Amino acid sequence: MEVVYETDRMFVRADIRNTRYLVCTFGHMDFYKGNPDHWGANALSRLPFSSIGFVCKENTWFPQADMIKAIEATRNIWRGFDKRLTYGFSMGGYGCLKFGAALMADSAIALSPQVSIDPCHNGGKDRRFSRFFQPHLHDGMEIRPEDLPKKSCVVYDPREPLDRLCFDVLRAMPGVSGFKAYHLGHDTPDAVASSSILGNLIKVTFDQDDEGLSTLLSTSRRSSRRRTIGLALALLRSRPEKAEAIIEKHRDILPPFWLNKFAEERAKILPPVAAE
């Protein structure tokens, strides 16, 4: 892998092999704790695809002026492939949709994407990331139909209200299909964390096999640890005993953060557990 383009705000890293297929990923350097890999690079390195990663060094949401230069500077790399797919999560999900057409991508896989971080967009309802909005960088940043690749697959949890709001905006655009990932919240990448699942996800998306993609996500979601905690949280009010049984069954494999989250939510709803 090598860095093929860099500015103060972003860099582009490439892992090019003898293959017809290219995955263009979008991500944030924070995912790698200072290690300049690109989104999905570790899993993609085990798969039969080339990859090129557009990486923001800060929470800048791929400013259009920067991306135009980055895409042009790397054109000789990405134009050399028969099939191109864009892929990203959250901010990266936004990027893979916003610049899908510019990269002449056949398809996109967007996990829990935003449409914009401009506080004036989406009726002012989605302000999760508005603190990062900078008018001189983000003017006109919202995703428009002409930005999208030929086909866009959006994976989201319908019970995550603001992610659902973003999908409701996107679903009106041509070529957009939604794939529901219940009980994952905003953490939809947890369902495709392994290289084998990601490889199959990319393959069925390249093949434009919506039924295969839906089946794959349904199966992988059920084995997700994030889905386990999400299901327990969803049951906490209506079936608390069932929720607690789920947690106890999976306690050894759930990260402390999620166990603490469950304990906090339980304390808001149920009486304290009696000391033995």
Question: CATH no. for residue 175?
Answer: 3.40.50.1820
How many domains does the chain contain in total? 2
Q: Looking at the structure, do residues 44 and 170 belong to the same domain, yes or no? A: yes
Q: Considering only the C-alpha atoms of the chain, give the largest distance between any 2 of them, rounded to a whole number of Å.
A: 68
Q: Looking at the structure, do residues 244 and 143 belong to the same domain, yes or no? A: no
**259 lies in which domain range?**
227-269
The verdict on residue 109 lying in a domain is: yes
> pTM of the prediction?
0.92
The verdict on residue 274 lying in a domain is: no
CA-wise closest residue to 75 among 48, 52, 91, 44: 52
Q: Looking at the structure, do residues 89 and 167 belong to the same domain, yes or no? A: yes
Q: Looking at the structure, do residues 251 and 210 belong to the same domain, yes or no? A: no
pLDDT digits 0-9 by tens, 112-121:
999 999 999 8
Q: Residue 124 — pLDDT band, cuts 50, 70, 90? A: confident
Q: Looking at the structure, do residues 208 and 182 belong to the same domain, yes or no? A: yes
Q: Looking at the structure, do residues 184 and 102 belong to the same domain, yes or no? A: yes
Work out the angle at residue 107's Cα, subtended by the Cα atoms of residues 140 and 7, and round it to the nearest 5 degrees.
Answer: 50
H or E element at residue 70 = helix 64-73
Last residue of a domain, one of 208, 223, 238: 223
Q: Looking at the structure, do residues 177 and 236 belong to the same domain, yes or no? A: no
Q: Looking at the structure, do residues 238 and 128 belong to the same domain, yes or no? A: no
Q: Looking at the structure, do residues 80 and 49 belong to the same domain, yes or no? A: yes
The verdict on residue 275 lying in a domain is: no
Q: Looking at the structure, do residues 41 and 171 belong to the same domain, yes or no? A: yes
Q: Looking at the structure, do residues 49 and 177 belong to the same domain, yes or no? A: yes
pLDDT digits 0-9 by tens, 37-66:
788 888 899 999 999 999 999 999 999 999
Q: Looking at the structure, do residues 91 and 112 belong to the same domain, yes or no? A: yes
Q: 264 Cβ partners below 8 Å, 6+ apart?
A: none
Q: Per the structure block, which two tokens stand in for 91?
A: 């901010």
Predicted local distance difference test score (pLDDT) of residue 70: 97
